[in-house]
Amino acid sequence: MSYQPTVSQLIHLADNALILGHRLSEWCGHGPALEQDIALSNIALDYVGAARNWYQLAANQINSLQDKAAFPLNAQGEATEDTLAYLRDAFDFKNFLLLELPNGDWAVTTLRLLLSASYQQLLLQQLSTNEHADVAAIAAKSLKEVTYHVRWSEDWVKRLGDGTDESHQRLQAAYHELWPYIGEFWENKLALPIDIASMQAQWLAKINQVFEASHLPQGVLPTWHQTGGTEGIHTEHLGYILAEMQFLQRAYPNAEW
């Protein structure tokens, strides 16, 4: 029997991309240099574009259901990428907690991108060979973009770690802030068709390679970690993101540009 992704799986993939993309977009006009401002803005657009693809695939599945009452619909009674992004509340979102945390300084932003993009790269590599044609196609397209995100963030983490005393201290502080959230990557509570054990080993080897070059201690997978995002239990930060992101659609329902 061929693999058929669940709506929850697709929404999880979309939510991760949308929330990280929104966070990164907040740097637009605030980057440390024009070139990096533009680079990070383009990375944000990559994630929003990926979110659109995953949401639309989820919407197609929802629209094939006889009972769509559990999902937000437009005036025509259909689910779309917009209804899924703009008309769900925080407890309906299934993104990792790490991605909704505030940007903090440049060290927090670049290290978070490295941690999450390295996970995404391995995830998309596996999904790009999936037997479901649409899942494989979206994953393959996103993989090309995420490969660049890994390279860009890796370069910055190494520069901060091997830079001045202050840049190193900021990177170390970012590590202590973010590391308790990475365990959620490996829960796979939504049963994505992936080899978690293989991904985990490859991810940790990659991250520790970067940490060594950045003069950070070798990362060890935490025995305890923050959790709940994939089940709709979020930090207070997600509510602020959605209040900003969803305001226009909620103030003017069914408006279209």
Of the two residues 3 and 223, the one the predictor is more confident about is 223
Once rounded to an integer, what is the mean pLDDT over residues 118-127? Answer: 98
Residue 201 pLDDT: 97
Query: What per-residue confidence (pLDDT) applies to 1?
Result: 42
Average pLDDT over the chain reads: 95
pLDDT in tens, 25-63: 999 999 888 889 999 999 999 999 999 999 999 999 999
DSSP 8-state assignment for residue 218: P
Of 19, 141, 23, 8, the C-alpha closest to 85 is 19
Nearest residue to 185 via CA among 98, 114, 91: 98
pTM: 0.96
pLDDT band at 253 (very low <50, low <70, confident <90, very high): confident
Mean pLDDT for the stretch of residues 7-23: 98
Percent of the chain past pLDDT 70, that is, above it, reads 99
Q: Cα–Cα distance between 61 and 57 in angstroms, integer?
A: 7
Write the burial class of residue 176 (CB in 10 Å: 0-12 exposed, 13-18 middle, 19+ buried): exposed
Average pLDDT over residues 179-206: 97
Flag whether pLDDT at 250 surpasses 50.
yes
**pLDDT tens, residue by residue, 55-94:** 999 999 999 999 999 999 998 999 999 999 999 999 999 9
Q: Check pLDDT > 80 for residue 257.
A: no
Q: Which residues of 67-92 are buried (b: 16+ CB within 10 A; e: fewer)?
A: eeeebbbeeeeebbbbbbbbbbebee
| AA identity, residue 80 | T
Query: Check: CATH 3.30.365.10 for 7-219+226-251?
Result: no
Is it the case that residue 177 has pLDDT exceeding 50? yes
Rg of the chain over Cα atoms, rounded to whole angstroms, equals 18
- Closest-CA residue to 25 (of 13, 12, 42): 42
